[in-house]
Amino acid sequence: MRNRSVTHKLLSYRLQWYYELILEKIKRSKSIVIFFAILMLAPFGLFDAFLVQPIINIGYPKFPTFSIVFFMLILQAVFLFWVKIQEEAVSAPAVKKYFNALPISSFKHYLVNMTVLLVANNILWIPFLVALFKAPYSVMTDFIDQLLFVLNISALITSIFAMQLQWLYRHYYAFIFLLMVDLLLYVSYIIQNELYSFILSLSALILAALFVFPWRFQFAISKILSAKKRRKACQKSN
């Protein structure tokens, strides 16, 4: 019970910190915020043209060319920029020095970071949701196409979220693996076989998800390795 309350308290402080800092930033740069809001919500549809349509194209490309990968890279860059401009509010570096020295497990810190990041991304998820509703399901001939669309979008969202997390933790090496998600998705588009496409899209999603919970992944790997070592040691002693 107490452990749970530590995480809850930590989360509530972090969310309050985020809210106060963002509010202050918005107040300071009010005109820029209003300009972007008008640009996005304008009737000539910048929101649709620059965000929703590219996402739909990534999920279900009519003509899969390598440009899809660039679309993905641009989206990922936008999300990374979004985190960069909010970094002080999201990761609260001003209090890290003190709170990191307290006996709180790194996994709890990680959960809190993840939740704050989800909250910080709120606005940017909207085009993804719109894309999910506006997707041309009627054009998608069978269930597999629809499934692939949802799978591709999920892999993209997961890879973006993983990239943001790894950026906050300064684990830049993870980007190499996460960029492989884009390549896996691209190969899944150009491949003709539906089963292979499905497997590739699913692997892209799993690869991205591994970097959302890297400790769990590392823990599992280290357990497997130590079990192997133990087995070898037993064999030697026998």
Which residue in 200, 12, 151, 28 sits closest to 92, CA to CA?
12
Q: Is residue 130 within the footprint of another protein (CB under 8 A)?
A: no
| Nearer Cβ to another protein (13/175) | 13
| Nearer Cβ to another protein (21/180) | 21
Q: How far is the CB of 153 from another protein (least distance, A)?
A: 36
# of chain residues touching another protein (CB under 8 A):
22
| Nearer Cβ to another protein (24/34) | 24
Q: Please list, in sequence order, all residues whose beta carbon lies within 8 angstroms of the beta carbon of residue 52, skipping any fewer than 6 positions away.
A: 127, 130, 131, 134
Please calculate the CA angle 204-177-77 and round it to the nearest 5 degrees.
Answer: 90
Which residue in 137, 151, 166 sits closest to 202, CA to CA?
151
Q: How far is the CB of 17 from another protein (least distance, A)?
A: 6
Binding mask 39-68 for another protein (x = CB under 8 A): ------------------------------
Q: How far is the CB of 164 from another protein (least distance, A)?
A: 21
Q: Is residue 170 within the footprint of another protein (CB under 8 A)?
A: no
Q: Is residue 222 within the footprint of another protein (CB under 8 A)?
A: no
- Give the span between the Cα atoms of 225 and 233, in whole angstroms: 12
Phi/psi-derived region of residue 131, left when phi > 0, alpha when psi is between -120 and 50, beta in every other case: alpha
**If you ran DSSP here, which 8-state letter would residue 79 be given?**
H
Binding mask 78-117 for another protein (x = CB under 8 A): --------------x-xxxxxxxxxxxxx-----------
Q: Is residue 195 within the footprint of another protein (CB under 8 A)?
A: no
Which residue in 118, 121, 92 sits closest to 10, CA to CA?
92
Q: Is 211 helix (H, G, I), strand (E, B) or coil?
A: coil
Which residues of the shown chain bind another protein in the complex (CB under 8 A)? 2, 5-6, 9, 13, 16-17, 20, 92, 94-106
